[in-house]
Chain A
Amino acid sequence: MTLQWAGVCLALATFLSIWWGHVGVRILEAKSANIWPPTIALIVAGLALIVYSLFAPNLIVSGVSSMVGITLLWDAFEMYRQSKRIMHKHAPANPNNPRHAALLAQGLATTEDLLDREPTGKPIVLNDQAHSATSNTNVVGDYKKVGA
């Protein structure tokens, strides 16, 4: 029986392109003083791969280039979303990036990675929102656990 390897190849392409895209966007956004040049580069690379997929020699090469192309386009959109996450303190700002440094100076960003913790099963109130916390809140590090 001949095995069909297209699925395994596309599974690897999907997982790796989402994973590296996820990590790459964070790094690229943190290091870019202006997000538009890398965003445009991602759009061009994504479109180029999608066009190439139409002329690829076989299904696997075509599928992998199309899948990676689509994730690069998604990553271009994520560059914008990541910059918004920084402004909402949902992702750590890079103090060496002038764009992030300006937000940090205004108190509109944080250098702390708030996602870098284990789930507790209870809502967490950040210290700068602590005024809205109920009396049964516990301070845990730099955040509060409600009803602990």
Chain B
Amino acid sequence: MMWAGLIIGFFGLFIIGMGFVWVIRMEYYLGYLWWPYPLAIGILIIIASLFVSNGLISALMGIAGGSFIWGATELKEQAVRAELGWFRFNPNKKPDPPGVKWIKKIGAPHL
């Protein structure tokens, strides 16, 4: 039997669960404008997974990378949820990410 599939599935469940946590916290402390950074982290993890010889580890890295990319697209919606009072709203000024002007021009992705 292929137990690796089950390991991958449960790791995926854990990673999706953690995705909710880091998206909420990142939006609260940093703000949604930081979205390119988790996106870049996700892409880098996926690229790195190509060079890992162990298939299971590569698969787990792929899941983590895919989840980071999804999380990056959720930050904007999370900001609106916080403004609507559905999540804790941080009234303090949030730090601008490096390249904020460029980031504002592109606009945050939302699926």
Contact = CB atoms under 8 A, between A and B. Distances in A.
Contact of A22 (B65, B89, B111): B111
Interface in A112-145: 114-115, 117-126
B69 A15 contact: yes
A50 B83 contact: no
B56 A123 contact: no
A65 B12 CA distance: 12
A99 B10 CA distance: 34
A69 B54 CA distance: 23
Given A62-B4, A123-B83, A8 B49 contact: yes
A8 B65 CA distance: 9
Interface string B43-76: 0001011111111101111110111011000001
Given A14-B70, A70-B13, A8 B2 contact: no
Enumerate the 7 nearest inter-chain pairs by beta-carbon distance, A residue then B residue, closest first. Answer: A7-B49, A62-B5, A14-B66, A53-B5, A7-B62, A66-B9, A10-B62
B56 A59 contact: yes
A65 to B, nearest CB: 7
Interface of B: 1-6, 8-10, 12-13, 15-16, 32, 42, 46, 48-56, 58-63, 65-67, 69-70, 76-77, 79-81, 83-86, 89, 91, 111
A140 B58 CA distance: 48
Given A13-B66, A14-B63, A18-B70, A71 B6 contact: no
A58 B61 CA distance: 18
B65 A66 contact: no
A55 B3 CA distance: 9
Nearest to B69: A15
A128 B53 CA distance: 58
28 contacts: A4-B55, A6-B49, A8-B46, A10-B58, A10-B63, A11-B42, A11-B49, A11-B65, A12-B62, A18-B66, A23-B111, A53-B2, A53-B8, A53-B9, A54-B1, A59-B59, A62-B2, A63-B9, A66-B6, A67-B9, A70-B10, A114-B84, A118-B80, A119-B32, A119-B80, A123-B89, A124-B84, A126-B84
Given A4-B58, A14-B66, A63 B85 contact: no
